[in-house]
């Protein structure tokens, strides 16, 4: 197993967040492939029960069980796990108390539902606990995974999700949950962890990216890269588009066009240029965050395995 880290992506626990709709799951999967490149073993985890990974790789729904879902260039492998909070709770209780039958009784009574609801963040405690376990797991003194990539909750909830262990320590003043929580909290605040924020060049995602980074900094949780998804190479930048120019060009290309069409083309080009201006301003906002910014191209043919590989290569090149 290769143990060398990919430069630029030094963290072992890579938490991928972003506003909903920015392609968080796609980027998490691409990052998992990237980090597995060159014979490494990576675990891609989903925590929200959406089965987004299965959909992305066109697989049947993933069980609560780690399994290989994709190979990476150079002999690497990507494993996937969909964490189910209820299963994680039973596993967790079993770790401390051999509950057996009682565990099933609890499940039947809705106790699990209850516990994950009334103890706010209990669900997140379990999920983050599982992440720590996967990152630090060893067999015969060797780490099982070179890296873990998490398709995490969106920007609006990421701070709460990652900080839940600190919250829990406040609520549970004693007991195994307290010590467990402190252990998780320490991992999440160590250089082992990096939170990457996925965005697009639109106002709301960029605003949420900024808010999330400010929040995470306040919580002392390390921030990795800002990943700008679905970018396109700019055209017509700084060019003056006139009707005369277009008319000339169309004639040369042998395309006949009436007045309205020429005027329409100018309108389209100007709207496009306005959009470019907005995008440039948003790029400046992102650069001002002081974190590495990686731009990923828009996938014209939708998200296919080839598309994921393109994104994975771009992520590696960026490092």
Partner 1 sequence: MTDGSCGFDGVAGYARTVMSDHAGRLRSPQLDVDKLLADPGIRIVVCCGSGGVGKTTTAAALGLRAAERHGRRTVVLTIDPARRLAQSMGLSALDNTPRQVKGVDGDGGGELHAMMLDMKRTFDEVVLAHTDAQKAEEIFANPFYQAMSSTFSGTQEYMAMEKLGQLRARGEWDLIVVDTPPSRSALDFLDAPARLSRFLDGRMIRMLLVPARVSGRSMFKLASASFGLFTRAVTKVLGTQLLTDVSTFVAALDSMFGGFRERAERTYRILQNKETAFLVVAAPEPDAIREAAYFADRLAHEQMPLTGLVLNRVTTVAAPAISAETAQAAAVRLDGQSVTADVMRVHSALVEQRARQRAVTERFVSAYPKVPVVEVPVQAADVHDLDGLREIGRSLSGA
Contact set with partner 1 (CB under 8 A)? 19-21, 48, 50, 93, 96-97, 99, 102, 105-106, 109-111, 113-115, 117-121, 156, 160, 167, 170-178, 202-204, 207, 235-236, 239, 241, 245-246, 248-250, 252-255, 257-258, 260-265, 267-269, 271-272, 274-275, 277-278
Residue number with CB closer to partner 1 (20 or 220): 20
Residue number with CB closer to partner 1 (65 or 268): 268
Report in angstroms how near the CB of residue 199 gets to partner 1 at its nearest. 12
How far apart are alpha carbons 26 and 38 in whole angstroms?
Answer: 21
* Residue 222 DSSP one-character state: -
Residue number with CB closer to partner 1 (2 or 115): 115
* Residue 5 DSSP one-character state: P
Report in angstroms how near the CB of residue 282 gets to partner 1 at its nearest. 10
Report in angstroms how near the CB of residue 177 gets to partner 1 at its nearest. 6
How far apart are alpha carbons 85 and 88 in whole angstroms?
Answer: 5
Nearest to 20 by CA among 201, 204, 163: 204
Alpha-carbon 65 to chain mean position: 20
Report in angstroms how near the CB of residue 239 gets to partner 1 at its nearest. 6
Report in angstroms how near the CB of residue 156 gets to partner 1 at its nearest. 7
Asked whether the beta carbons of 286 and 312 are under 8 A apart, the reply is no
Taking residue 290's Cβ as centre, other Cβ atoms within 10 Å add up to 11
How far apart are alpha carbons 50 and 47 in whole angstroms?
Answer: 8
Residue number with CB closer to partner 1 (5 or 48): 48
How far apart are alpha carbons 255 and 275 in whole angstroms?
Answer: 27
Asked whether the beta carbons of 211 and 30 are under 8 A apart, the reply is no
Asked whether the beta carbons of 116 and 86 are under 8 A apart, the reply is yes
Residue number with CB closer to partner 1 (150 or 177): 177
* Residue 226 DSSP one-character state: E
Q: How does strand 138-139 pair with strand 142-143?
A: antiparallel
Residue number with CB closer to partner 1 (134 or 269): 269
Report in angstroms how near the CB of residue 113 gets to partner 1 at its nearest. 8
Residue number with CB closer to partner 1 (58 or 140): 58
Report in angstroms how near the CB of residue 139 gets to partner 1 at its nearest. 28
């Amino acid at each position: 197993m290769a143990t060398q880290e990919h430069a630029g992506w030094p963290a072992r626990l890579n938490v991928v967040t972003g506003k909903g709709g920015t392609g968080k799951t796609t980027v998490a999967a691409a990052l998992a492939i990237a980090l597995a490149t060159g014979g490494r073993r990576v675990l891609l985890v989903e925590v929200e029960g959406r089965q987004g990974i299965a959909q992305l790789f066109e697989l049947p729904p993933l069980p609560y069980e780690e399994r290989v879902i994709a190979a990476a260039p150079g002999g690497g492998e990507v494993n996937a796990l969909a964490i189910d909070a209820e299963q994680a709770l039973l596993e967790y209780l079993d770790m401390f108390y051999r509950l057996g039958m009682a565990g099933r009784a609890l499940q039947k009574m809705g106790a699990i539902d209850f516990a994950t609801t009334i103890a706010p963040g209990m669900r997140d405690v379990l999920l983050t606990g599982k992440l720590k376990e996967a990152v630090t797991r060893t067999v015969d003194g060797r780490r099982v995974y070179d890296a873990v990539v998490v398709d995490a909750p969106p920007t609006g909830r990421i701070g709460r999700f990652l900080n839940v262990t600190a919250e829990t320590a406040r609520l549970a003043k004693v007991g195994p949950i307290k010590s467990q929580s402190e252990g998780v909290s320490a991992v999440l605040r160590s250089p082992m962890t990096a939170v990457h924020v996925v965005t697009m060049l639109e106002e709301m995602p960029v605003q949420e990216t900024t808010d999330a980074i400010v929040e995470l900094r306040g919580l002392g949780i390390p921030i990795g890269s800002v990943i700008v998804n679905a970018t396109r190479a700019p055209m017509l930048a700084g060019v003056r588009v006139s009707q005369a120019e277009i008319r000339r060009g169309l004639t040369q290309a042998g395309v006949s066009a009436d007045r309205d069409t020429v005027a329409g083309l100018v309108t389209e080009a100007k709207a496009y240029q306005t959009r470019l201006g907005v995008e440039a301003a948003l790029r400046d906002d992102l650069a001002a965050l002081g974190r590495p910014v990686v731009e990923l191209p828009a996938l014209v043919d939708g998200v296919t395995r080839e598309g994921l590989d393109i994104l994975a290569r771009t992520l590696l090149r960026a490092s």
